[in-house]
Amino acid sequence: MEAKSCVILCTIYCFLFITTTANTREMKDELEKLKQLYQVKRVAFSASLLASGTETLGPFNSHVPLIFRHVVTNIGNAYNPNTGFFIAPLRGAYHFEFYVADYGHSSHPSGAVLVKNGEHIFIAYEHQVNGFGSSANGVTLLLETGDVVFLRQWHNTRIFDNPNHHTTFSGHLLFTI
């Protein structure tokens, strides 16, 4: 009788151990899925127009995409310094700011427009006939995964940058939706 009791107890113990271990693994897997689902992705970038040197771009007869080559921060790698495109990695509210600089010119202002999926959103534009000038703008946008945001130089304008990094483009995720 004692041998039978021992076998039964061992069987019950093994069953409970296996069940508990399986449940623990399932619980850990579920917890990991929930963490990934609710973890807020970190997205932020900041870049200036030129990686080195001094240059004035333009004027051009049409709008020209701007590619910001000197990347200071690119958390989440949503900004592409080869194309100048920011591509939203997830749905959420994003904030963007841009600054445009130039030395005054009698017939050519400075200006850039923020573009979302081909649509002009906001412009930074100024016309100063002499001396150094700059303009800026910012916007908070609701973006869907895959939306594209970038800057275009406004037609017939000039944009200046040098190692002091006057012309910049920055953005970050405020929160997911």
26/162: higher pLDDT:
162
Residue 30 has what pLDDT?
Answer: 73
Q: In the chain, what percentage of residues exceed pLDDT 70?
A: 82
Cα angle 95-164-133, degrees, rounded to a multiple of 5 = 75
Q: What is residue 16's predicted lDDT score, i.e. its pLDDT?
A: 59
Q: What tens digit of pLDDT does each residue of 79-110 get?
A: 999 999 999 999 999 999 999 999 988 889 99
* The pLDDT of residue 69 is above 70: yes
pLDDT at 105: 87
Strand partners, 135: 100
Cα 140 from Cα 100, distance rounded (Å): 18
Q: At which residue do the structure tokens 């945001």 appear?
A: 149
Which of the 8 DSSP states describes residue 39? P
Fold observed for domain 44-176 = Jelly Rolls (2.60.120)
pLDDT higher for 45 or 130?
A: 45
Q: How far is CA 70 from CA 78, 95, 129, in A?
A: 15, 20, 28
Tell the residue number behind the tokens 């963490």, with chain if given.
Answer: 35
pLDDT band at 15 (very low <50, low <70, confident <90, very high): low
Peptide bond into 59 cis (omega under 30): yes
Residue 38: predicted pLDDT: 58
The domains of the chain are located at 1-39, 44-176
- Residue 168: CB atoms within 10 Å: 19
% the chain with pLDDT above 90? 72
Mean pLDDT of the chain: 89
Mean of the pLDDT values across residues 53-57?
Answer: 96
Residue 104 or 28, more confident: 104
